[in-house]
Amino acid sequence: MSKQSALKQSSAHDVHEVEDIETHEEPNLKGTFAAVMFIGVFIVVSWIGVYALYMYR
Amino acid sequence: MHVHKYEKIWLTFGIGSLLVFLIVLGWGAFYQGTQPPSCLVTLNPQNVQAHNSFKEENLGVQQVGENEYVVNVLASAFNYDLGKDEEGAPVKKIRIPAGANVTFQATTSDVVHGFHLSGTNVNMMLEPGYISDYETTLDNPGEYTLVCNEYCGVGHHMMSAIVEVYE
Amino acid sequence: MLKNKIPKPESKIAMAHMYVAFIALLVGGLMGLLQTFVRSGEFTLPFGIGYYQILTVHGVVLGLVLTTFFIIGFQYALMSKSVGMSKGHRKWAWIGYIVTLAGTIMAATMILLGEANVLYTFYAPLQAHPLYYIGLALFVVGTWIACFINFNQLYQWKKQDPGEKSPLMAFMVVINMLIWFISTLGVASTVLFQFIPWSLGMVDEINVLVSRTLFWYFGHPLVYFWLLPAYMAWYTIIPKIIGGKIFSDGLARLAFLLFLLFSIPVGFHHQLTEPGIDPFWKYIQVILTFMVAIPSLLTAFSMFASFEMAGRAKGHKGLFKWFKGLPWKDVRFLAPFIGMVAFIPGGAGGLINASNQLNGVIHNTIWVTGHFHLTVATTVMLTFFGLSYWLIPHLKGRTLTPKLNKLGLIQTWVWTIGMSIMSGSMHIQGLLGAPRRSAFSTYGGSEQAQEWVGYQIAQAVGGSILFIGIILMVYIFFKLSFGTPKGDQEFPVAEYADVNERTPMVFENWKLWIGIAAVLILFAYTIPFIDIIQNSPPGSPGFQFPIGRG
């Protein structure tokens, strides 16, 4: 991990500008999105499963 | 710091799900009274019999209303004391009608014990000096094992009893 | 620029920790195997050895010794790599190591003598030999020395480069050690002020609920102390191994800061079914526990993003084709990757465990054992194994050979299969109501207990496969330490995908974050803790044989 000297002059007010430029070149993360949503659904289904067991008992 | 738009959607979904879980749990706990067992009554752990519920004659199943029961249990290493039957032998099996309102009240006279009626939501810790209670309705008939699920010494796995829920 | 290789004297410190860790793996693993055998009902321990004695060894040796030694050794390596280590640091690192090891040996001796069959949670009023508690206290003090060395390492680096953000690795190590230090204050207080005087007979009684509350104030952050080094590897090392980049420096730091804030004020979710604690405060800590899931949600996205970007950079297109671009034949990637996958059911299970009244379904059932064998024994362990394949040869001036890489791949799959069987059957059996931490029992011939036996046999099968995995891993460790060709094994350090990314400097404001963490802890604990003390019942005398100390 190299020390990034470029980061030295970072100041609060130019953060937004940088963000705006970056928005145009967002990487393609469709697969990532699908994968994390799968995880999300898995969590929700497991939780509902045990909740149902709790309600039944 | 830039956050990808998919990540924003993901976090909204994720945090939203957590919120929904919390609301469902909070609703159940505070409005429907399904709090986890949190009895605040204390007693002297070296003299539990001083408390009315744990006097020898009050242990085991007590019918307190038309369809209402209290089960008093005194736990100690490595036994659940459910009182004595007519012949004076220790009760190892109790019977409760399905659909009845039951309150389990238990404490320990020595170390920490568990109190889990396996296959039901009756699951609580018994700690010296505290009464643990759980009010429930057991709707599904069958034979349930009351097990100690907190380590309490060499005979921990021998500590059990049977609760039969009958129609 | 940074040194390419960790200097020899610093390597020695890290390696000293690794030897202890892998010996612990062998010993603790053998105990685990024996436990699954006993519980299958087909095996009795010889020589009058007790089930709960080997259970105590298993928990202490794997849960505390293996994890802590590996983590401290690994963190020293990360600090050497990112901010350097001075002569003074090295001297203190050895002192810390010796103190921690002395504490370990003291506690282990008491367990082996049968004077401390109280499990690694040592719940009062089970009472062990005083030396068991003194050993534990020494162990904690030794780790504190490591904490302050790590803090000082970053401090010295910052003094030389004021105003510069700290290297990501060092930032993460310091956060983990902050969590460890703040949380061990709880367990140290109960051991020093309650258990030691009580076991020495200086006081007659102990306040049980206070001791349990202080224990669990430590007990949950402990699992994050295990998990965060795995996250460090995932964020700062794995991207390099797959030929990719760190997705985002800022998000990585944010995740770690959230862990610092939310991993500590959550101990009540281990005490949900206990009497004497106001259910309102239980619910407050349930909310805080759910907050600590957020940094893991962030991490899941960052990991997949880093994988997908690496795959796409190699020319793989489509929704999931980039998956093929990952180095499946490289054990340095495969082992941690399976660790990440295990954290999906692990994390989902964790949310269920912490769900207030839902906890009653699984509390102290063997589901919980299945849960942490996914999180710590798969997610964390497979990541640590994955690190070992390059870290050990790097520290020893050797190389990872293709043959050992292949053996490592086999080890990883053996672990995965064994754990799926064992942990899977534990989860199901737990939902049926079977207790954890129990020797084989028919429970007075109950019908339910008969249903459980099949799962217990499955656990013995899974446990046996896992033990083969342990033998393989210990062999690989010693081979990497002493048997592979001399050479330079790379210490992989990932670079940033976006070098121009601006990380908010507020992330470096330690006073602010420690302050918020303290406020959250005080908020979550002050009122219920005062409540517990004010409404305490009379204390408990100690219980020894046949209950506690053998």
CATH number at residue B144: 2.60.40.420
CA distance C356 to C286: 6
Q: State how far the Cα of C351 lies from the Cα of B21, in Å rounded to an integer.
A: 9
Nearest alpha carbon to residue C537 among B113, B43, B51, B126: B43
**pLDDT for the residue C498:** 84
Strand partners, B106: B73, B132
Mean pLDDT to the nearest integer, B42-55: 94
Query: B2: pLDDT confidence band, cut at 50, 70 and 90?
Result: confident
Contact present, C395 and C11 (Cβ < 8 Å): yes
Residues in chain B within 8 Å Cβ distance of A51 = 24
Dihedral pair phi/psi, residue C366, rounded to 5°? -75, -5
Output the pLDDT for position A12: 41
Residue B9's domain comprises: 1-36
Q: Do B2 and A40 touch (CB under 8 A)?
A: no
Candidates B4, B12, B122, partner chain A, best to mutate (most A CBs within 10 A) = B4
The whole-chain average pLDDT of chain C stands at 95
Cite the DSSP H helix spans in C292-439.
294-313, 331-353, 359-362, 366-374, 381-396, 402-431
Give pLDDT, residue C436.
96
pLDDT for A6 beyond 60: no
| Touching A: C residues 404-463, CB under 8 Å | 431
d(CA C74, CA C378): 18
Lowest mean pLDDT among C186-200, C302-316, C418-432: C302-316
How much is the pLDDT for C352? 97
Rounded to whole angstroms, the Cα distance separating B34 from B37 reads 9
Q: Are residues B130 and B101 in the same domain?
A: yes
Instruction: Between C3 and C179, name the one with better pLDDT.
Output: C179
Q: How far apart are the first and last CA of chain A?
A: 54
Angle formed by the axes of helices C8-40 and C51-58, nearest 10°: 150
Q: What is the 3-state secondary structure (H, E, C) of C258-290?
A: HHHHHCCCCHHHHCCCCCCCCHHHHHHHHHHHH
pLDDT tens digit string along B88-110? 899 999 999 999 999 999 999 99
Q: Higher model confidence: residue C289 or residue A18? A: C289
A57's CB contacts (< 8 A; 6+ apart) are: B119, B120, B121, B140, C361
Q: Token pair 């519980």 is at which residue?
A: C39
Least confident of C105-119, C276-290, C462-476: C105-119
| Minimal C-alpha gap between C441 and chain B (Å) | 6
Nearest CB to B44 within list C254, C537, C546? C537
Q: What percentage of chain C exceeds 90 in pLDDT?
A: 90
Bond prior to C247 in cis (omega within 30° of 0): no
Q: C8-40 and C87-112 are packed helices; what angle lies between their axes, rounded to 10 degrees?
A: 20
Number of domains forming the structure of chain B: 2
pLDDT in the model for residue A24: 52
The set of residues, in sequence order, having a beta carbon less than 8 Å from that of C319 and lying 6+ positions away, is A30, A31, A34
Q: Is the pLDDT of residue C1 over 50?
A: no
- Cβ contact A40–B6 (<8 Å): no
Please report, rounded to a whole number, the percentage of residues in chain C having pLDDT higher than 70: 98
Interface of A with C (CB under 8 A): 1-8, 10, 12, 14-15, 18, 22, 27-32, 34-36, 39, 42-43, 46-47, 50-51, 53-54, 57
Tokens of C343: 């954290």
Amino acid at B67: N
How large is the ipTM? 0.96
Distance CA C146, CA C92 (A): 8
pTM of the model: 0.94
At residue C369, does pLDDT exceed 90?
yes
B72 and B130 both lie in a single domain: yes
Model confidence band, residue A21 (pLDDT cutoffs 50, 70, 90): very low
pLDDT tens digits, one per residue of C276-319: 999 999 999 999 999 999 999 999 999 999 999 999 988 888 88
pLDDT of residue C443: 94
Q: Which among C378, C297, C116 is positioned nearest to A35, based on CA atoms?
A: C297
How far apart (Å, rounded) are the C-alpha atoms in residues B71 and C386?
A: 53
Residues B88 and B152 in one domain: yes
| Cα-Cα end-to-end distance for chain C | 57
Is pLDDT above 60 for A3? no
User: Tell me, what's the pLDDT at A18?
Assistant: 45
Count each helix (H run) and each strand (E run) in chain C, helices first: 19, 0
Structure confidence by residue, pLDDT tens digits, C32-78: 999 999 999 989 888 888 899 999 999 999 999 999 999 999 999 99
Residue C343 has pLDDT above 90, yes or no: yes
Q: What is the pLDDT of residue C549?
A: 59
User: Do B20 and B61 have their domain in common?
Assistant: no
pLDDT at position B133, please? 96
| Confidence at residue C503, expressed as pLDDT on a 0 to 100 scale | 86
Checking if the pLDDT of C351 tops 70, the result is: yes
B75 and B121 housed in the same domain: yes
Non-local (6+) Cβ contacts of A17 within 8 A are none
Q: Per-domain residue ranges for chain C?
A: 8-544
CA B5 to chain CA mean position, Å: 47
Q: C8-544: which CATH topology?
A: Cytochrome C Oxidase; Chain A (1.20.210)
Whether the pLDDT of residue C550 is over 70: the answer is no
Q: Do B113 and B131 belong together in one domain?
A: yes
- With contacts defined as CB-CB under 8 Å, which chain C residues touch B45? 537-538, 540
Q: Would the pLDDT of A10 be above 80?
A: no
